[in-house]
Amino acid sequence: MCGVGVSAMQYLKKEIREKIIAAAIEEFKEHGYSDASIRNIANNAEISLGNVYRYFTNKEALYFAVINPFME
């Protein structure tokens, strides 16, 4: 793993997931669920579109990841 420890990789994964969720919150607030764009979320999180789909299978899964903390 090029000298990167497992815990460092886990941190990076958590950081990327949090960036996606933060960008998704803004996208859903601004455009609503129907008009929200995964491409915009990826661009605003400064990651590839494919990387979003590594963390979330679709827009619905991402939406639930965003709203779930508020529902608990």
* Pair 27, 36: CB distance under 8 Å: yes
Residue-wise pLDDT tens digits, 28-53: 999 999 999 999 999 999 999 999 99
Report the share of the chain in percent with pLDDT over 70. Answer: 83
pTM, two decimals, is 0.83
For residue range 52-69, list pLDDT tens digits in order: 999 999 999 999 999 998
* Mean pLDDT calculated for residue range 18-23: 97
Q: What is the pLDDT of residue 71?
A: 86
Q: Are 28 and 66 in contact (CB under 8 A)?
A: yes
- Res 1: pLDDT: 47
Note whether 29 and 64 are within 8 A (CB): no
